[in-house]
Amino acid sequence: MTKRKNRYIKPWLVIAAAIIFWAFGSGFYGNLLATSEETYKGLKLFSDVLELVERNYVDPVDTKMLIQKAIQGMVRSLDPHSSLLPPEAFEELQVDTHGEFGGIGIVITMEKGILTVISPIEGTPAYRAGVQAGDKIVRVNGEPTQDMELWEAVKKMRGPKGTTVVITVAREGVKEPIEFTLVRDMIPIESVKWIALEPGFGYVWITNFRDNTYEDLVETLEELESEEVPLKGLILDLRDNPGGLLNQAVEISDLFLESGKIVSIKGRQERHTKVFSARPNDVKRDYPIVVLINGGSASASEIVAGALQDNKRAVILGTTSFGKGSVQTVEALREGYGLKFTIARYYTPSGKSIQAKGIVPDIVVKERFLDEQITAEDEGLLKEKDLKNHLKEEPDKDKPEESEKEKKQRIKNRRKDTSRHGPLDIEKLKADNQVMRALEILISYQLFSRVEESQ
């Protein structure tokens, strides 16, 4: 009996090792040979379970799918931002960093396992049809979304211009599900929008950090700086900006800094530890800046806000940011797969980690909608600290967190209207109390500067 058992164990150990090799490539294989006895035991346990399931489970199983889900579970147990990307998801990630795509025009997230609309993008098919922020998408083309990955849902809703997709949503206060038949259109990925609020005072909204965001911002600033009235002050709006590419955040911060640190990243590997510093610019942009942030400002937007705050280059106004202070990389794997995983934490120039903490504004001003001020903490937005398995602020720090009851209440109060996409509307901006407070600060700065010059 013992001999028979050993005959099965050995081939499956080879297969388990081959699985890991297939997933991570030859670079990992070398390390695998030198792993501890505990790792060996773990691989043996994995091979035993896989063998038993494949041979004895009530229905035939797809071994490759089991392996993929096992790897996915392993990676996701690390933190909420690490995951195995199947070929389709890897392709979608690359689409998200540049160009445009055919779709219906909604920003979505997976909240407590439910596909949720953050906001419809103004002027798109979803916006025109009446899809609203807070809608729960329960079916796409009749297929339930309950067990879908976020990337799967995105892929099903994207498609060639002129084709049709049907989404079914559950809406708070409405008893029956609502069905929308939408004709896809081209959805441009626009990351920088601007307008002159008053002569000499510019407003720039960076929606996210993509491949060309830096170039777009430079063109925008040149437009504002070449107006008939010279630029006296700038409002840089990073609210609801989920982040994006690290290099874009560094380059944009450098536009407004002549020296000093921008951000430092620290990982276990030496190659993942680096300090980014500002360099002198050909164009001196020394006008005052107010940066707007809120609970939806995350990652790269927090890098910019932190760099300008710590270098005393801008006043930060709004509410505490999301608190995503970790750096991810995406490694291409064989057969079109990708691995997104966390390699480092990042720190502001003064050495502060904002992981699960956020950037605290210099001036706290909560958003106001329809003359009603939001009183829930940080507008009730989902934060990094709400995410399962989130990283601690620093490796050895374990600070007390809010209670589960407080967390649930804050998420329940999450504001419904985050639709700030589409063309900028001067009247809407002038009704935005955070924007107007920022403008008041810039105008006051100019007045005080004139008084000082005259003395």
Q: CA of 131: how far to CAs of 158, 413, 415, in Å?
A: 16, 20, 16
Q: Which residues are catalytic?
A: 299, 310, 324
The reported pLDDT for the residue numbered 255 is 97
The reported pLDDT for the residue numbered 15 is 35
- 115 lies in some domain: yes
Global confidence as pTM: 0.74
Together in a domain, 182 and 196? no
DSSP state letter for 92: H
What is the average pLDDT score of the chain?
A: 83
- What is the rounded radius of gyration, in angstroms, for the C-alpha atoms of the chain? 25
Together in a domain, 174 and 282? no
- Give the pLDDT confidence of 324-359 residue by residue, as tens digits: 999 999 999 999 999 999 999 999 999 999 898 999
Cα 231 to Cα 225: distance, rounded to the nearest angstrom: 5
Together in a domain, 246 and 266? yes
Residue of higher predicted confidence among 115 and 370: 115
Residue of higher predicted confidence among 259 and 393: 259
Reply yes or no on whether the pLDDT at 42 is more than 50.
yes
Core vs surface per residue 129-156: b (16+ CB within 10 A) or e? bebbbbbbbbbbeeeebeebbebbbbbe
The reported pLDDT for the residue numbered 148 is 87
Among 106-115, 426-435, 440-449, where is mean pLDDT lowest? 106-115
Q: Are 377 and 402 in contact (CB under 8 A)?
A: no
- Give the pLDDT confidence of 183-242 residue by residue, as tens digits: 999 987 778 999 999 999 999 999 889 889 999 999 999 999 999 998 999 999 999 887
The reported pLDDT for the residue numbered 396 is 61
- 80 lies in some domain: no
Core vs surface per residue 275-311: b (16+ CB within 10 A) or e? ebebeeeeeeeebbbbbbbbbbbbbbbbbbbbbbbbb
- 68 lies in some domain: no
- The tokens for 1 are 């009996």
In which domain, by residue range, is 39 found?
A: 2-61
Reply yes or no on whether the pLDDT at 282 is more than 90.
yes
Give the closest residue to 298 by CA, choosing from 256, 344, 217, 354. Answer: 354
Residue 70's identity, in one-letter code, is: A
Together in a domain, 288 and 424? yes
Which residue, chain included where needed, has tokens 């329809």? 370
What's the total number of domains in the chain? Answer: 3
Average pLDDT estimate for 10-24: 37
Together in a domain, 143 and 284? no
Q: Are 209 and 175 in contact (CB under 8 A)?
A: no
Together in a domain, 388 and 244? yes
Cα 372 to Cα 450: distance, rounded to the nearest angstrom: 36
Together in a domain, 241 and 141? no
**Total residues found in the chain within this entry:** 455
Which of 144, 170, 188 is the endpoint of a domain? 188
Which of 188, 223, 251 is the endpoint of a domain? 188
Q: Are 107 and 117 in contact (CB under 8 A)?
A: yes
Reply yes or no on whether the pLDDT at 13 is more than 80.
no
- 89 lies in some domain: no
Which residue, chain included where needed, has tokens 């982040």? 243
